[in-house]
Amino acid sequence: MTTTAERAPATGEPAPSRVDTAAVEACVRDLLRALGQDVTSPGLADTPGRVARFYQEFLEYQPGSLGTVFEHQVTGAGCVAVGGIRTASLCEHHLLPFEVEVCVAYAPAGQVLGLSKLVRIVEKHAHALQLQERLTVQVAEEVARLTGSKAVAVWAVGEHQCMTVRGVRAHGSRTATEYLLPTLADHPELVERLRRTAAMTGGEL
């Protein structure tokens, strides 16, 4: 058995913050004023700071080690799937949250990824200004990169506040996305095997 873990930068220094919290705080205060709100009221006085800290914590989320893999040699055909991965992201079009449930399935190519790492990969890509379509692709491509597998499929079902609290206000509407690695295009039987394995997790495909 071999284990490979991602390493922290050699210096051990934390990465500099990408979020200018002071500028965000000032912007939120200006936004509240533009919305006709009294920014000195007890309920709003600390809101700009809280919002700034939220964006910093969300966008600079660190998922931890992603690349722990273990040797796994089989003589037959096998698939691995983890479903029911629930997380939240922010729609880049309206800066409103969306909740999403993700299922990841792949056929091992001589090694398997630690199961918790699949969850971490989803969390890593969800903590961004995001599109569900892009999130689905990013998760699949990262799993493929880390496992060396050419057979990776990802399904996601999300509920978007940009559809439920604004615009059409379609409460209860959900969006489903699917991404299969391009190498699966000529292997429908493998895609079906991935689907069957993913279905066993109880996720929505």
Task: List the one residue out of 147, 129, 143, 169 whose CA is nearest residue 72.
Answer: 147
Fold of 69-199: GTP Cyclohydrolase I, domain 2 (3.30.1130)
- For residue 142, CA distances in Å to 41, 66, 120, 125 come to 46, 9, 11, 10
pLDDT at 203: 62
What's the pLDDT at 12? Answer: 59
Q: Which two tokens stand for residue 37?
A: 């709100």
pTM of the model: 0.86
pLDDT tens digits for range 120-154: 999 999 999 999 999 999 999 999 999 999 999 99
- Sorted by where each begins, the domain ranges of the chain are 21-59, 69-199
**What integer pLDDT is reported at residue 72 of this predicted model?**
73
- Mean pLDDT for all residues in the chain: 90
In this predicted model, what pLDDT tens digit does every residue of 1-39 receive, in sequence order?
344 444 444 455 666 788 999 999 999 999 999 999 999
- Which uninterrupted H or E stretch holds 116? helix 115-126
- How far apart CA 190 and CA 172 sit, in angstroms, is 33
The pair of structure tokens assigned to 25 is 């705080």
- Give the model's confidence band at 81: pLDDT under 50 very low, under 70 low, under 90 confident, else very high: very high
Task: Look at the block and give the residue holding tokens 């004023």.
Answer: 33
CA-CA distance, 79 to 106, in Å (whole number)?
6
Is 79:197 a contact under the CB 8 Å cutoff? yes
Name the token pair of 4: 């490979």
